[in-house]
Amino acid sequence: MTSVAASPLTVAVIGHVNHGKTALVRALTGIETDRLKEERDRGLSITLGFAWRDYPSGTVDLIDSPGHEDFIRAMVSGATGARAVLLVVSATEGFAPQTWEHLQIATLLGIRAGVVAVTKSDLLAPGEEATVRAKVEDGLAGTFLAGEPIVFCSATTRESLGTIDLALEALHVRIPPPATLPGAFLSIDRAFSVTGAGTIVTGTLQGAPLKAADAAVLLPGGHPASVRQIQVHGAAVAEAPPGGRVAVGLRGVGVDDVRTGDVLCAAGLFEASEQMDVLITVADHSARPIKHLEELRLMWGTARATASVRLLGAKTLPAGAHGMAQLRFNAPVIAFAGQRGVLRRLSPAETVGGVEIIDPAASPGRGRNSLRQSVLEAAVTANPERIATAMAARDGGVIAIRELARLARQSEAVVTANLAAQFDDLGDGRLAPRTLIAEIRDAYLAALVAAHEAAPIRLLAPAAKVRSGLATLGARDVIAHVERVLASDGRITLVGAQVSLVGHDPLRSLPAVTLARLEAMEAALRQGGVSPRDPAVLSGREPEGEDLLALLVDLGRAVSLRNVALRQTLVFHREALAAAAEQLRERFPSPATFTTGEAREALATSRKFIVPLLEHFDGQGLTRRDGDVRETMAAGPATAGLAASS
């Protein structure tokens, strides 16, 4: 098993039909890229051809793209993963229609470097080269190939092939390594079976290395697979680096399970979707603008599909314009953030622009377009902090780590670690800005201070009211996180649906006359036992009286119960409940059972009180109901803590 260069360079060989692309590749590498008999008979490439050339600095993979306009899809597939082009122009014909279209497509696919080979130069008359060079330079003006090497050559005489070799190796040296992704990503351009080896798929590997025995998945279908073997240029390797051509033998997948356009990728790191958020660039020559809701064909990777274009913030995009949009498909598709694609009209078939895929698994567009656009604009930079900040503004401070990692083109673990200094973990795969959490924390405490000042007699304030007052600052989940942290830090006390500041003591602020009234109300409750007075009578139907009765409940001296059938609220003294529980235990020691009526008689109370009492005891684990009878449970901490169990 051999090793391969750490950074192969894939170069797309592009140009007009019959300008000599295949002959040039054959002359450079000795490899015949026309595999089909029809291609050899017609002298016309129909499918992609593959060859390579080894240099001291590494390997250059050459992908020979069909030059005929009927095979644009194959040309786009060939440029997938390519980081440079070898543009082939016939010295005798010059720039032709597919020369222009291939160059335009390469531009839309984000390629920014290359070499220009002017072929068939042996057919030029003496003195013609300067004129042809000037025309080629004029044709390249304003394109990414302006200023790149132009080499006059001949596949027949082998003139200047050495110069092209030097130019290709120079490309390998100066072009940056391929962009990284969380895992390996292989857009499949061929799938076939070999006896003894099983299903084989080929493509240009992107994103991350692929290792033999890796677990993988075929998307968008979701078929699991494992990597059986990897070959690079016919030699088996243990690991293939991204950037070059690979052939992968798969286990667990039949050749009929694979379609051109599928992706073999690392399991669990990529997902298919029926929506993509993209940045559209309309071609300068486009005769018509792209319209909102227009149906266009997208070609990306080795796939193509028709999509509805939903522009953000615009009804049309004219020639030369840029704009954000969501593409919606009729079935799930697979891509990665940062991948490029080409948009073509269905009829007449023509290239109208390109896309950079910002979110390959977007949710259906909703909400304010300005906030959605801010997230997408941040995602173009692939800067996790900028993306997270924009997501927080869009979603009330909540940042979904999975979405963030997808947009930032990193793994979830990496983005979480890199943002740990500025963002807190909310749990369940979410983050929130630490500055927002601090702001909400201060606002929560201030709101609770205000609530205590507004109702000084109350020990507790309604937590829902405090939270609702903070809704403009952040999402409910962020507020809930702040509340949990304040409680765990010992700054607030949560009791059911109510909350108070730790240390808040309304008794300290009560005037003597009010304190005396509170004590009298408690004495009346204690005296009432399990048949207490009506709360309205105890409180005197005055706001202060109601607050004092509620304070007794808040302090745990009284317990509020509900008689659902009678729609009444009843208030018992805690000592009365504890005494009643003990009486039942003495009268009906376990395993003896008793009915509601027997409990009523034992406690000398009425049905109005006994039903909520027993339901309360059930809830506290002091009694256990079985149909129409109950059984007392063993004495324990619940009895001592009964007073605080409202």
- 256 and 221 within one domain: yes
- State yes or no: pLDDT of 267 exceeds 80: yes
Taken in order 96, 98, 99, 104, the sign of the CA dihedral is positive
- 322 and 232 within one domain: no
- 19 and 161 within one domain: yes
What letter would DSSP give residue 207? B
Which residue from 514, 513, 506 is spatially nearest to 551, judged by alpha carbons?
Answer: 506
- 164 and 15 within one domain: yes
Q: Which of 266, 291, 322 is the last residue of a domain?
A: 266
Count of the separate structural domains present in the chain: 6
- 297 and 253 within one domain: no
Q: Which helix (H) or strand (E) holds 524?
A: helix 512-528
- 385 and 326 within one domain: no
Q: Is residue 516 part of a domain?
A: no
pLDDT digits (tens, 9 = 90+) for 465-490: 999 999 999 999 999 999 999 999 99
- 226 and 190 within one domain: yes
Q: What's the pLDDT score for residue 213?
A: 85
Q: Which of 457, 474, 508 is the last residue of a domain?
A: 508
Taken in order 149, 150, 154, 157, the sign of the CA dihedral is negative
- Which pLDDT band, with edges at 50, 70 and 90, does 349 fall under? confident
Q: Identify the CATH number of the domain in which residue 471 sits.
A: 1.10.10.2770
Whether the bond into 348 is cis, omega within 30 of 0: yes
Q: Is residue 389 part of a domain?
A: yes
- 17 and 148 within one domain: yes
The contacts of residue 292 (CB under 8 Å, 6+ apart) are: 309, 310, 311, 314, 315, 316
Q: Identify the CATH number of the domain in which residue 613 sits.
A: 1.10.10.10
- 16 and 164 within one domain: yes
Q: Is residue 522 part of a domain?
A: no
This prediction has a pTM of: 0.78
Q: Is residue 475 part of a domain?
A: yes
Q: List C-alpha distances in Å: 300 to 219, 340, 518.
A: 14, 6, 76
What is the mean predicted confidence (pLDDT) over 424-452? Answer: 96
Q: What's the pLDDT score for residue 462?
A: 94
Q: Identify the CATH number of the domain in which residue 135 sits.
A: 3.40.50.300
Q: Is residue 468 part of a domain?
A: yes
C-alpha torsion 308→309→312→317, nearest 10: -160
Characterize the bridge pairing of strands 623-626 and 629-632.
antiparallel
- 30 and 50 within one domain: yes
Number of residues assigned to the chain: 646
- 496 and 415 within one domain: no
Given a contact cutoff of 8 angstroms between Cβ atoms, the answer to whether 27 and 157 are in contact is: no
Distance CA 71, CA 308 (A): 23
Q: Identify the CATH number of the domain in which residue 232 sits.
A: 2.40.30.10
Which range marks the domain in which residue 375 is found?
369-421
What letter would DSSP give residue 156? T
Q: Which of 474, 489, 508 is the last residue of a domain?
A: 508
Q: Is residue 524 part of a domain?
A: no
Given a contact cutoff of 8 angstroms between Cβ atoms, the answer to whether 267 and 41 are in contact is: no
Question: Which amino acid appears at position 581 of this protein?
Answer: A
Q: Is residue 279 part of a domain?
A: yes
Q: Is residue 2 part of a domain?
A: no
- State yes or no: pLDDT of 28 exceeds 50: yes
pLDDT digits (tens, 9 = 90+) for 115-140: 999 999 999 999 999 999 999 999 99
- 382 and 313 within one domain: no
Q: What's the pLDDT score for residue 529?
A: 94
- Which pLDDT band, with edges at 50, 70 and 90, does 645 fall under? very low
- Which pLDDT band, with edges at 50, 70 and 90, does 385 fall under? very high
pLDDT digits (tens, 9 = 90+) for 218-247: 999 999 999 999 999 989 999 999 999 999
